Structure 1
Amino acid sequence: MDTGQRVDATEAIFEVYQRDLTICDGEAAKAALASNEKIAKVHRRNVNLVFDGCMVERGYVRR
């Protein structure tokens, strides 16, 4: 992804974003299934951290 551009800046960038989003959703789902955390709040936080980390690895920054 180009630095500083919005994910909806062009159709091509949006398509790449959609692909990356799907991949990271899958990674978060795998983490959720593998988790044995009993406290729901901690479980959700951990799954969200996996998703956020995946997106950061692909160059996305939440603003």
Structure 2
Amino acid sequence: MAPRLATECPHCRAPGFGHINVERGAPCSFYGSATQTIAGDIHGCGRCSYQTRTPRNHARTDPKWCDYCNS
């Protein structure tokens, strides 16, 4: 918690900017359809509505996690 409190919001400069959610939908490496695998992290401010999205390091997800491939 201390690192988050030490991080200022880039928009309003209030302390407490950090991870608030994830974005699902990384594409399947076989079909390209969206999966439930995490595609990115959402960081936001507790004071204002400013948010940023940071993509995860993987570009595509293994088909074993794809709802379409496994239906």
TM-score by length of 1: 0.25
Q: Which has the higher helix share?
A: 1
Greater Rg, structure 1 or structure 2? 2
Report which of the two has the higher share of strand: 2
Higher relative contact order (CA 8 A, sep 6+): 1
